[in-house]
Each structure stands twice: as C-alpha cells, then as structure tokens.
C-alpha cells in the first residue's frame, strides 16, 4: 500500500476509533444486564472516547482507545478496533471492535466507519453483564476533525 493510501486509511481509522472509543465512558447510571426474569432491560451508556494509538496492520489499521465518563473524569474501559482497507468510493472502512468496560464485560460491534460527524454501528454481542445483548447500536459523534475524540452513545436493547 502506498504512503498516500496508508495515510488515508490511518486517518479514517483514527476517525473511526475516536467515534467508537468515546462511546464507553460509563455515565448512564442505569441498570441493565442479566435480569433474573431473563428479559434484558434497555440501557444507554455514554462515554468519551479518546484515541491512544492507530497502527497499520495487514492493509488496514488497529486502533486502541481509552473510554472515560463523558466529563472525562474517570476511565471506565478501553476499545480495541480492527479496520480493513477502505472499500467504498467514499473511503469508508469495514471495522469490528470491542468495548471492554471495566468490571462489567465486553460489547462487540461491527459496521462501516467513515468521515461523517455522526454515524452508527451495530452491536453484535457481549460478555459479562452484556452476555444477553440481542440488539442495539452505538452512535458515534466526533468532537474534532481528526476524529480522535468522540462521545459515543451505546443503546442496548
């Protein structure tokens, strides 16, 4: 991959990571998870996602982020994301990732990450308190043009 294309992939991945990473800073205070009745209560979690690193990997990029409370006061977890080389004319990349929320579990997601200010990806599963997540989405709202900081809203159905 030439340098110009790699720079574009890294920039796109950085935007994606910022958007996704910001989603997990726990600030909701709402309960959800493993309800004894077997029915998951809907839950919304908001986080500030801050990109730590973006590394080239097999034609794509690996992204690691820190998840904080929306006010930036406390670390609540980390996100690990793998994006593949851009495959659309707009430069969007297909990405898979995991939000690891300290003491709660993991939330897995997948979707196309691109350059819009706000976009969404689908939640595909979870572990720990999130092992019964059957559906949901993560809305990512980038806070800067470099997409290295975002507020992520995780809606668990």
Looking at the domain that runs over 3-156, which CATH code has it been given? 2.40.480
Mean pLDDT of the chain: 80
The two three-digit tokens of residue 89, written as one number: 């004319």
Query: How many beta carbons lie within 10 A of that of residue 54, not counting itself?
Result: 24
DSSP state of 79: E
Distances in Å between the Cα of 153 and the Cα atoms of 28, 90, 122 are: 10, 24, 12
pLDDT at residue number 146 = 84
pLDDT at residue number 43 = 94
Could you write out the three-class secondary structure of 130-147?
HCCCCCEEEEEEECCCCC
- Sorted by where each begins, the domain ranges of the chain are 3-156
pLDDT at residue number 7 = 42
* In the chain, % of residues over pLDDT 70: 73
* In the chain, % of residues over pLDDT 90: 54
**Quick check: 85 pLDDT over 80?**
no
């Amino acid at each position: 991959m030439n340098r110009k294309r790699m720079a574009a992939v890294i920039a796109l991945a950085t935007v994606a990571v910022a958007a996704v990473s910001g989603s997990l800073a726990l600030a909701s205070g709402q309960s959800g998870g493993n309800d004894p009745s077997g029915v998951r209560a809907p839950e919304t979690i908001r986080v500030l996602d801050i990109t730590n690193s973006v590394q080239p990997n097999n034609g794509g990029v690996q992204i690691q982020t820190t998840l904080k409370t929306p006010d930036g006061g406390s670390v609540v977890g980390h996100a690990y994301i793998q994006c593949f080389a851009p495959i659309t004319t707009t430069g969007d990349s297909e990405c898979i990732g995991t939000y690891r929320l300290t003491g709660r579990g993991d939330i897995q997601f997948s979707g196309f990450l691109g350059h819009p200010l706000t976009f969404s990806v689908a939640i595909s599963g979870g572990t720990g308190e999130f092992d019964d997540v059957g559906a949901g989405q993560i809305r990512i709202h980038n806070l800067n043009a470099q997409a290295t900081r975002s507020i992520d809203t995780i809606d668990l159905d």
